[in-house]
A and B are shown apart, each in its own frame.
Chain A
Amino acid sequence: MTDTAKKALGLYIHVPFCLRKCHYCDFYSAPSNAAHRAAYVAALCAHLRQKSHTVSGYTVDTVYLGGGTPTVLQTAEIAAILDTVRQCYPLAAEAEITVECNPVTNTEGLFEGLLAAGVNRLSIGLQSTHNNELQALGRLHTYEDFLATYRAARGAGFPNISVDLMLGIPEQTATSLAETLDRMTALAPEHISAYGLRVEEGTRFFDTVSVLSLPDEDAVADMQEQTAVALAAAGYEHYEVSNYARPGYRSRHNLRYWLSSPYLGFGPGAHSYFEGVRFETPRDTTAYLAAVAAADTDFLESEPHPIVGKEAQDEYVMLRMRLFEGLDEGDFRTRFGTSFEKAYGDTTRLEAAGLLTRRDGRIAFTERGMYVSNAILSEWLDFGADGAE
């Protein structure tokens, strides 16, 4: 990169609306009506414009509309948001523009509209191909709805589709998962995410966890391995904890989170990392609308926190190690002026246990190591020490 070259930037745009809250979801979203949505889109566009005045020297190369359920918005509203992005920010020609969507019953014109708006990647929240499991999760769709949606998207010409699966769903078994994986590999989306279900505080699941028939730790670990094996056999690379891609189709937007590449978030609950500072916008849609109207950057960019020193080093390890390619020891030494051992101690025991590999100047978790990475990272890292309050 030369001095005159522009730096790459990602935009995350949050849509805090859903048709209904799923039982496991603790992300910021709520039901809405048309007027709410129109007002919200107007605010988002205003916010995008406001922020663009302070951003120079960057080219946007990924845009991600997440939620919530962004497709709760009218296609025209999504187009308006992306138009605003184009007007205010230099957008790379080959930019990855993703929209999350749920399987829907009526896809009439939807995907054609999204393509026309410039969207080139879809992320569909399927979770499972078994309707009993979908019901247990509180999802509104069926597998059949998903198939119709997927085919409509392909039919419309979407070249890059990601499908979300979930592991550890109540009632899920190795057999039912095998079937889900078979169906997926047959369908062959470019990208598959497979997240372990986490029962978070503040969700319906959290309140009912004692009566849920959740698979236990070993069963979920088996499912993770089963997924990795099945998807590898079908030609997918396991490149991040929960993400698989056919060659050339890694999520460029999500990768920037792990590579500490800058991104700006818009909407309540969105997070940003820009010019070495992390900040976030509080999870309150009404307050968000007011803050945009008042150009209240103190609210929109709450809890600004520069990432420096030991915290930057620990964060680098935490984020890079989410990737199966791990971290480059030489790069680590250049950035932080110390060796990995000096910073985090001897790793031979972890290597001997088959949890960690060190080869070609890189340190990386193995499949097994990745699934217990929190236990290892919490030994190494100390975010209580300097400022990560």
Chain B
Amino acid sequence: MAISERQKHIRNFSIIAHIDHGKSTLADRLLEATQTVAKRDMEEQVLDNMELEKERGITIKARAVRLSYTAESGEEYVLNLIDTPGHVDFNYEVSRSLNACEGALLVVDATQGIEAQTLANAYLAVDAGLEILPVVNKIDLPSADIEGTRREIEDVIGIPAEDCPAVSAKVGLNIPDVLEHIVTDIPAPEGDENAPLKALIFDSYYDSYLGVVVYVRVVDGAVKSGDTIQLMSTGRTFEVVDVGVMDAFGLSKRAELRAGEVGYITASIKSVGDTRVGDTITLANDPATEALPGFKAVQPMVYAGIYPADGSRYGDLRDALEKLRLNDAALSFEPETSVALGFGYRCGFLGLLHMEIIEERLEREFNLDLITTAPSVIYEIVKRDGEMVRIDNPTNYPDPAEIESAKEPIVKASIITPTDYVGGLMDLCQDRRGDFVDMKYLDQQRVELHYRLPLNEIIYDFFDALKSRSRGYASLDYELEGYCESNLVKLDFLLNGEQVDALSFIVHEEKAYGRARKIAEKLKDNIPRQLFEVPIQAAIGSKIIARETVKAMRKDVLAKCYGGDITRKKKLLEKQKEGKKKMRQLGSVQVSPEAFMAVLKLDDDD
């Protein structure tokens, strides 16, 4: 297909890297080198503009920016940098961002080498048919091994790296080399300007003035303000208000967006739920015959109950979740009630990181104190009457007598680790009911392990255990493979003989005893002593499998009332009463929100 002169001067690319390998810093240098951002205006790492992203040093949501670059040949190029989230929870978003590009910079830290996410994202890029341009970073560090890293890239990923740029994004070394390679190595976008519109949504966010701002890559055709667009997955139509491109400071209006270009569309859309990542936009009066491949509606994989620590803030929690959902189509929530915790929401997340981010944002941006129940995956239960139910809340787990079979989600996990830790990590995977698939030596020092693992084991503290058993060196990537029949049980906890719904969870039978004992012990350590002895029991159905006792309190008295100071004792009792008001009533037992969270907090590897 012949492409236009305009298209010949466009390059669309992503940067993929493991966390901390310097992706954002490199992006900053590219912006600076192309004078997209003047150096004095540079805020560190322009692309990561959420506070939380800056703190965690990761990109949570994709962003895109347009750079203007005059090549050594003297020709002007438009470079569209599409940033990708750097975590396993956002694999699907990464794949869609990559599909909007023709090439990807694969940034590898010359002191660390290839990590699990580097590899996972590199494979995604290969799958998407991208030209991969390796960039060896952090060459300013004394321990940098440029040649070794290049060799590793060639050996492990199988792409030439002999002449690839070796840079230090931090100190700004060899950045022009990267820009020149982008122009020479990455192909210009193909696509027919005159065909019906096909634009790939790779991100969107809600703006209170503009409505949803949709980030797109136009594959075929063109779109301009006044057009009526249609979302191909839902058929919904909207009238375009504006189209334009993203420079480093925000949105910049254009007359139209044409094949090969990256830009934004606004169309008074009220919810990001209407503009799902991966969907195809076409024109209502001249629609494309088929959508771009690869769209799927993302489904939450991990669920947890979120409750306000102060029950009276239930309304605030609802408002906060609604605000977050405006910008996060992957977040789902619906009201739920717990006997122990009162009114709250069952929330669905892409994974644990996604969950942590939402929790942190709720606490930080909305000033809420939360109680979060243990995360759960979705189980598929076939009942004896043939009905299949999907269970994301242990409370709804059917009576064992009604269950014909139970299935749990299984993931394909890839772990890259220095060889020293292979033994410990294989033990860990074994302990977490993993099925060994294979093991590959990446080089003499590093190994890639493949396991099939139940997702409910991954969300139970797997990542921390992995890090502690490898002194932080092992990296993990996983994707959902499917569902597998499993011997599951629901574990309940009783305080004073009364079941506490918020503590129940679903677990594989062979893990039940160990977890039951551990949680019972934690309850014992965290429930303050009460006036009466509190028996703690862990049960599967009516069978008690672990028990502990919180002994009755023995000392809570003000021994001395100095010189008739009665007021002081009153204040003390008053303070004590105030403290009790914050307590959660778990059956007849009072527990502070902090104690409840301590029980649910997963400990380090043990």
User: Given contacts A374-B576, A383-B571, are A241 and B563 in contact (CB under 8 A)?
Assistant: no
Q: Contacts of B563 on A, CB cut-off 8 Å?
A: 12, 14, 27, 64, 66, 265, 269-271
Bitwise, A315-359 to B at CB < 8 A (1) or not (0) is: 100110010000000000000000000000000011001010000
B40 close to chain A: CB less than 8 A = no
Which listed residue (A280, A368, A378) contacts B577, Cβ 8 A?
A378
Q: Contacts of A220 on B, CB cut-off 8 Å?
A: 555
A382 close to chain B: CB less than 8 A = yes
Looking at chain A's contact residues, the main secondary structure is mixed
Q: In the complex, what distance in Å separates the CA atom of A382 from the CA atom of B563?
A: 23
B566 close to chain A: CB less than 8 A = yes
Q: Contacts of A40 on B, CB cut-off 8 Å?
A: none
Q: In the complex, what distance in Å separates the CA atom of A305 from the CA atom of B568?
A: 13
Q: Contacts of A372 on B, CB cut-off 8 Å?
A: 531, 552-557
Which listed residue (A27, A221, A318) contacts B555, Cβ 8 A?
A221
Nearest chain B CB to A101 CB, angstrom units: 16
Which listed residue (B564, B572, B574, B578) contacts A257, Cβ 8 A?
B564
Instruction: Give the size category of A's interface with B.
Output: 35 or more
A371 close to chain B: CB less than 8 A = yes
Which of B551, B555, B563, B571 has the most chain A CB within a 10 Å cutoff?
B563
Is the pair A318, B559 in contact by a Cβ cutoff of 8 Å? no
Is the pair A378, B531 in contact by a Cβ cutoff of 8 Å? no
A196 close to chain B: CB less than 8 A = yes
Is the pair A273, B560 in contact by a Cβ cutoff of 8 Å? no
B312 close to chain A: CB less than 8 A = no
Which listed residue (B530, B557, B562, B570) contacts A383, Cβ 8 A?
B570
A293 close to chain B: CB less than 8 A = no
Q: In the complex, what distance in Å separates the CA atom of A318 from the CA atom of B565?
A: 13
Q: Contacts of B578 on A, CB cut-off 8 Å?
A: 384
B561 close to chain A: CB less than 8 A = yes
Q: In the complex, what distance in Å separates the CA atom of A378 from the CA atom of B573?
A: 5
User: Given contacts A196-B557, A372-B555, A374-B556, are A383 and B566 in contact (CB under 8 A)?
Assistant: no
Interface contacts (Cβ under 8 Å), in number, total 118
Q: Contacts of B570 on A, CB cut-off 8 Å?
A: 315, 318, 383, 388
Which listed residue (B560, B562, B573, B577) contacts A318, Cβ 8 A?
B573
A3 close to chain B: CB less than 8 A = no
A218 close to chain B: CB less than 8 A = yes
Bitwise, B570-598 to A at CB < 8 A (1) or not (0) is: 11111011101000000000000000000
Which listed residue (A27, A315, A384) contacts B574, Cβ 8 A?
A384
Q: Contacts of B572 on A, CB cut-off 8 Å?
A: 374
Is the pair A224, B555 in contact by a Cβ cutoff of 8 Å? yes
Bitwise, A363-389 to B at CB < 8 A (1) or not (0) is: 000001011111111110111100010
Q: In the complex, what distance in Å separates the CA atom of A303 from the CA atom of B565?
A: 13
Q: In the complex, what distance in Å separates the CA atom of A371 from the CA atom of B557?
A: 5
- 5 nearest CB pairs, A to B: A221-B554, A378-B576, A195-B559, A196-B559, A383-B570
Q: What are 26 A-B contacts defined by CB distance under 8 Å?
A: A12-B563, A66-B563, A196-B555, A196-B557, A198-B559, A217-B554, A221-B555, A241-B559, A265-B564, A269-B563, A271-B564, A271-B566, A272-B564, A305-B567, A353-B552, A370-B557, A371-B554, A371-B556, A371-B557, A372-B531, A374-B556, A375-B530, A375-B553, A375-B576, A383-B570, A388-B574
